[in-house]
Amino acid sequence: MLVARRVSLSLVVVLGFFGSACGEPSPTLAEALAAGEAEKLPPDFKPSPKPRPKGLDGPTDAEFKAWNRKDPEGEKHLYKWDKANLGLLLGYWEDLQCFREKVMEEGQKAFGAEPGTPIDEQWFQFKSMFINHINGWQQRMFADVPKIDQKSKFIGDFLAAHELAMNAYPKAYNESDKVGLEKADLQWMRIEQKLKKYTNQLGGEWPELDPKNSKAMEKHAKHCTAAMTPPDRSGKAKKRRPRR
């Protein structure tokens, strides 16, 4: 019985095939493509989309303007904050100067040293301490002055200088790369000139370091000693806070 069904199905398929072959000829590929071209939509056709459900319309112009509110003072609040806290900010910059001086001092000692020598080992130990220390310095700055990246125009250049001290200078000394050191020095000078110009615009005085001024250099050395000293974890040390 099953065999008879299979035979009858095969017969239907075969008859269907011959029926189509004996009828009208099928269109050629070119004819089919031509028919498809004829069915293309006219160039001026405009669809009529279904109306959007109520309650899903976009915001009105007044609502969008309210949501897209701009600060009426622009960057004036940054200038005001920087001017009011200029002493604090220039103190942070002097910290960064100290870090640069220290990494250059220690890196120069190890410049060209053979791997595995006592000088190379001393440089390795210094880097381990130094990078951890100035990374912590950056974290403390953000903790001591919350949202300083939103309050001050100094912060972008501070972070660029921090990156030079923590990465560019150590890398150049690791590889005894004079060109790398020259590039780092050039970037540092650009940052310094930019900050100096901005400080003058705020009406402040840029703290120039004059090697011939012994008192100023002694004061700077004390600042660097404090900057390189690990933080007091006892909770007794006073934190630098911006003026309100």
What confidence tens digit (pLDDT) does each residue in 15-36 have? Answer: 444 444 445 555 565 565 555 5
Judge whether residue 55 has pLDDT over 60. Answer: no
Q: What is the mean pLDDT of residues 86-91?
A: 96
| List of residues 6+ apart from 95 with CB closer than 8 A | 137, 223, 227
DSSP letter assigned to residue 144: H
Domains identified in the chain, total number? 1
**pLDDT class of 9 with cuts at 50, 70, 90:** very low
Q: How many CB atoms lie within 10 A of CB 43?
A: 5
Q: What is the mean pLDDT of residues 161-187?
A: 96
| Cα(174)–Cα(184) distance, integer angstroms | 14
Pairwise pLDDT comparison (77 vs 51), residue with the higher score: 77
Average pLDDT, the chain: 81
CA-based nearest residue to 170, from 133, 113, 130, 135: 130
Q: What is the mean pLDDT of residues 138-146?
A: 95
**pLDDT class of 14 with cuts at 50, 70, 90:** very low
**pLDDT class of 69 with cuts at 50, 70, 90:** low
* 2 belongs to a structural domain: no
* 165 belongs to a structural domain: yes
Q: What range defines the domain where residue 190 resides?
A: 76-228
Judge whether residue 164 has pLDDT over 70. Answer: yes
Q: What is the mean pLDDT of residues 191-213?
A: 94
Q: H/E element holding 35? A: helix 29-38
Q: How many CB atoms lie within 10 A of CB 144?
A: 14
Q: How many CB atoms lie within 10 A of CB 192?
A: 16
Residue position matching structure tokens 């933080």:
231
Q: Which of 62-76, 146-160, 205-219 has the lowest mean pLDDT?
A: 62-76
pLDDT the model gives residue 124: 95
Q: Which of 47-51, 118-122, 209-213 has the lowest mean pLDDT?
A: 47-51
Q: What is the mean pLDDT of residues 132-161?
A: 95
Q: Which two tokens stand for residue 139?
A: 């974290």
| List of residues 6+ apart from 123 with CB closer than 8 A | 106, 107, 109, 110, 113, 173
* 68 belongs to a structural domain: no
For residue 203, give the amino acid letter.
G
| List of residues 6+ apart from 77 with CB closer than 8 A | 71, 151
How much of the chain, in percent, has pLDDT values that exceed 90?
58
Prediction pTM value: 0.68
**CB of 188 closer than 8 Å to CB of 161:** yes
pLDDT the model gives residue 244: 45
* 28 belongs to a structural domain: no
* 63 belongs to a structural domain: no
| Cα(53)–Cα(119) distance, integer angstroms | 76
* 93 belongs to a structural domain: yes
* 3 belongs to a structural domain: no
| Cα(234)–Cα(184) distance, integer angstroms | 37
pLDDT the model gives residue 75: 77
Judge whether residue 167 has pLDDT over 80. Answer: yes
**CB of 151 closer than 8 Å to CB of 78:** yes
* 97 belongs to a structural domain: yes
